Amino acid sequence: MLRLGIVGLPNVGKSTLFNALTSSKAAAAENYPFCTVEPNVGVVEVPDPRLERLNELVKPKKKVPAVVEFVDIAGLVKGASQGEGLGNQFLSHIREVDAVVHVIRCFDDPDVVHVMGPVDPVRDHDVITSELALADLAVVERRLEKTRKTARAGDKDAQAELVVLERVVAELDAGRGAREAGESEEAVKFLRQLGLLTAKPILYAANVNEDDLASGGGKWLAQLRAAVQAHHEEAEIVLFSAKFEAELGELSGDERTEYLASAGVSEPGLDRLIHAGYRLLGLQTFFTVGENEVRAWTMHRGGTAFDAAGEIHSDFQRGFIRAETVSFADFARVGSYKAAGNRDWCGARGGTTWCRTATFCCSASTSSAGSTSPRHRSCVATPTRIPGALRPGPCTPPRPLIRRRAPSSGSRPAPVRRPRRAT
């Protein structure tokens, strides 16, 4: 499950965004600083019209969408690392998230109090970036002291770790994020293990008014883009209006569609935020389809059919043989997996086949007894393309593998009798 942590200054729309995302009033969103004290956690369904279409075609007993978890913490202020405001005591709650959503105020409203006075997205960006860097610096310095002692003793792993940590300290002292120090895959993996916030992918949510939402941004948004580029951040900026999203959340059906059209947008900003999180982390959706349920799953782009099987269940991956796939477009065109198989639109794929989005595959694995397990058969959304995959064919399960039982550790094999020589 994708997990996103929401950060920002007090009173910039974080809690309003959280409430709109989760369709609840769980987070306090009053017009005064530090109205959020305890962290709020909410689980949100990932919007996907393909899942709705599959549900209409298959008519299963239940529909299970993919979900995203959002964590909203108290606002940070300048000097939070020294205890200003509520301090940075709540940052520990988002050290385990996959990415950080930084909410920045990009609208001017005298009725909404700003904790630092006039609206200035560049200043707000720099304050939060600095406070996250200082919080990470405290973590790195504690680790650095221990690593130096181990490195002096001749430990090669500690010596390699020391080089990365010293590079991280240099980046943080310069006001940049720890992600700049990840020059190799090993270094990036190590930084993620430390839970450094500035090493995580970041996504900016610009809270604008309704007029700027329709026009695609205003002067404040242009300033924010310039600040992000100045810090060499490869981060996407998603426009949303917290006030508009809160009002939209109270509508449904045609009223919701008309309200979106009146604002000049095609989809809610919350949907755009979730989709941007998927793009940021390189994720894609695949589906399982059956009479009991239609379910959406999440996997990394570039993964294989074998990886997709592991997202469903470890046993499913352990006994994986092959997957038979059909694209979403073909499935939606004929309305069933059987009809797609009759037209030879199903392709059998091996475990090393790469997967793209919006494809189904009927997979089969073997149980411990050697027979194909019915509970391991389902339609999975994983389009595939890679040389070496099996040729397309009808949607039929593969022949089960025959596995011979190994003798138990306690029993001895029967002695082999040799024929006597003739005298």
What are the pLDDT digits (tens) for 51-90? 999 899 888 899 999 999 988 887 777 776 666 555 566 6
**Residues 246-253: what's their mean pLDDT?**
82
Strands (E) in 208-273, as ranges, are 237-240
What distance lies between CA 46 and its chain's CA centroid?
A: 11
Chain centre distance of CA 323: 24
Per-residue pLDDT at 144 exceeds 80: yes
The pLDDT assigned to 62 comes to 92
Q: CB of 94 within 8 A of CB of 199?
A: no
What average pLDDT is seen over the chain? 75
Output the pLDDT for position 101: 92
Q: What is the mean pLDDT of residues 282-306?
A: 87
- Provide the β-strand partners of residue 294: 63, 289
pLDDT at 233 over 70: yes
Q: How far apart are the first and last CA of the chain?
A: 76
| CA–CA separation, 109 and 106 (whole Å) | 10
For residue 120, is pLDDT > 60?
yes
Q: Is the pLDDT confidence value at 331 over 70?
A: yes
**Token representation of residue 372:** 């194909």
